[in-house]
Chains A and B, each alone.
Chain A
Amino acid sequence: MTVITLALGSALLAADPTPILGGDFWMPPPASTFAEGLDQMFMFINWLCYFFFALIAVLMVFFVIKYHAPKGHTFRMDGPHHHMPLELTWLVIPTLLVVPIFWLGFAGSRTLGVEGYVGLTTPPRNSYEIQAIAQKWSWSFKYPNGVISDDLYIPAGEPVRMQLRAVDVLHSFYVPNFRVKRDCVPGRYGYLWFQADEPTGHSRYHHLFCAEYCGNGHSQMNRRVFVLSRTDFDAWLKNEETWLEKIDDAELYWKAGPKLFARCTSCHTLDGVSGVGPSWKGIWDRVNGGAGSDGTFLDGKTYRDLIGPGKEFATPEDYIRDSILNPANHVVKPFSPSGMPTFKGQLDDRGIDALIGMMKHLDEFDPKTAKWLKATPEQK
């Protein structure tokens, strides 16, 4: 699944984008404005831990060697039972040590360059707002101008505020390189903010993970975060607004299909292997009275019973449209009635047309990567 997700990009790109790796022994590359400060906070606690661990370990080994009493030795009786000054010391010193750790964690420190919890949860007033909608098992990112994107594109050098929503169960928005994370709770909005100064361009990205267990596809909800300079970002946003409209009708299915299909890959494949949902392989035959059209639904009806003149769905296109917008109406055996969420609001009519077109021309797509097999448009 990850392979397909990574492989899908805009059909216009020559090479697939690659993740940004690196960082040091403990941490991934710091890519947000507060990442370095947080890494320093982490290392500060680490060094405290190294010190105390070394203290205990060395003392322990030293005492075991020095006071080892092999068989035959008599027991010493001079070990102290208590020592008030020492006990108070090692009560007071740890207490004194944890107070600054707590305080730095909570309030941070401008002088030390560490952002505290207060700062992490207080977005600047001029932040650019993007909505993240989490569902089983994909993300959608909604921009102020209505664009919906599968990957997260953000402008560089500006604070970005994510408004987080979940549609069904708990999810969590996590970008390790930015050091941000927040649960997405169904029924309420959450938010977090970050600012990335260094653009990644379209060819490199940061990982976005879901960090709250949400079922079968929890580990396969990964998305990509692209940081674009303001001009590039504006251009991308403009392009996205109208990308679907700008595509010629004849090219709709092969230019738009795979990009939209990215949202479907967590449950559907093209190669015949069932996932959470049935594979699209052979779907056009099934809905057109060809091979597999006697496949049954949960209510006992077959494709042929449902699709055709005078039946519930006059044309196969009607059926496919309904199964995208109201998936629970008719579910094929043996799949679950609550497996597929509705895509109302996420896919408009043109998007649905693109997907239907893709289903009609499935033989033109690589079943493993969902890429359009013809190399250039001229060969179509």
Chain B
Amino acid sequence: MRPSGRKGRVDVSTLPANASAHEHGDGAGGKGHDAGHDHAHPPFLAHHFESPAQQFDSAKLGMWLFLATEVLFFGGLFVAYAVLRNRFPEVFSYASHYLDTIMGGINTAVLILSSLTMALAVRYAQTGKKTAMLVCLWLTFGGAVGFMVIKYFEYEHKIHAHLVWGSTFYTPPHDAAGRAEAEALKQPLQPAPAIVITDPTVPALPMLAVTPPVDQPAIKPATQAPSGLASTAAIAKAEGLQTGESTVGDHPSLHLEDKTMPANTHLFFAIYYAMTGLHGVHVVIGGGMLLWLIWRGMRGDFGPQYFTPVDIGGLYWHVVDLVWIFLFPLFYLIH
């Protein structure tokens, strides 16, 4: 959430009755003045701050605290990832192959470059080089847009193939045959039998459970959706039998035909969309923030005396980049 930008305009209602008591950090000298406004107060200095330095420090601390909340916000999802990966290592090992490492890699490069241009923008703001700062801000914004475009293509391809979360994962994609099948699949969900069974004979002493290595041959491939949604046609398809319908089309459902796909693979995509989606939302918010900085920059608000919004905006952008640096290897690289 960004505060709306109205700095630069004086809010007369917050003027103190006797401003001579305030220190002026820029040493402009405290002449007594009445309710009017004088040059001793820089226009960007809010009246509850004693000095620009105090204002800058406060803004910085505030932004770092906000970034701590972002870390904890994403942290919850990282914990969910860890829990799911721990319970279903075979799922992650298998499903990560469906992600396009090249596109992910390009996105990573785009974001890292955009962090560079952002840092340069801050530097140019500090040194008063307005044009260079604006160019860098535009380039950063371009990085944000580029990232989202590539992400759009990644998502589009997967969504068409129904490589998505939940029970939709198991419905064949909607080509003509798929749509007819979806009609026939109108069954209510039945609760599944218990899946995870704890060994009743293990004594309940506190001990650390050792995670057994993944036993590939023992993994049961999914020929049927756990919630009983698979129709005979889908099962036939998964078994590779003749169903009389075309299986090669615009929207192949490779995953449903792959006999080695482990059960609960949909969970990988659930956490993938949750994390990359939330990250994407933050990139979009960052893009909006960059536009605002560009607008203010064009207005001439920033210079060596005052570059706080660029600085703290940069901090936000770096954290958005950092989150992606973690997401990329966790989803795309490790198998």
Contacts and interface: CB of A to CB of B under 8 A. Distances in A.
Query: Are A and B subunits of one complex?
Result: yes
Contacts, number: 32
A187 interface: yes
Contact of B194 (A165, A168, A328): A165
B188 A328 contact: yes
A373 B241 CA distance: 60
Given A118-B204, A121-B204, A189 B188 contact: no
B224 to A, nearest CB: 18
B14 interface: no
Contacts of B205: 118, 122
A194 to B, nearest CB: 14
Interface stretch (B105-113, B195-203, B250-258): B195-203
B40 to A, nearest CB: 43
Interface in B167-196: 188, 190-191, 194-196
A338 B190 CA distance: 10
Interface string B144-184: 00000000000000000000000000000000000000000
A290 interface: no
A122 B203 contact: yes
Contacts of B194: 165, 186-189
A163 interface: yes
In this complex, the interface size class of chain A, counting residues with CB under 8 Å from chain B, is 10 to 19
B200 A189 contact: yes
Interface in A157-175: 161, 163, 165, 167-168
Given A121-B204, A122-B204, A189 B197 contact: yes
Contacts of A168: 191
Contacts of B200: 161, 163, 189, 191
A342 interface: yes
Given A118-B204, A121-B204, A122-B205, A187 B195 contact: yes
A337 interface: yes
Contacts of A121: 204
Residue from the set B197, B198, B204, B205 with the largest chain A CB neighbour count within 10 Å: B204
A67 to B, nearest CB: 40
A249 to B, nearest CB: 32
Given A118-B204, A122-B204, A122-B205, A188 B191 contact: no
Question: What 10 A-B pairs are tightest by C-beta distance, nearest first?
Answer: A121-B204, A328-B188, A188-B196, A122-B204, A122-B203, A187-B194, A187-B195, A189-B198, A189-B197, A167-B191
Interface of B: 188, 190-191, 194-198, 200, 203-205
Given A118-B204, A167-B191, A188-B194, 20 more contacts: A118-B205, A121-B204, A122-B203, A122-B204, A165-B194, A168-B191, A186-B194, A187-B195, A187-B196, A188-B195, A188-B197, A188-B198, A189-B194, A189-B197, A189-B198, A189-B200, A191-B200, A328-B188, A328-B190, A338-B188
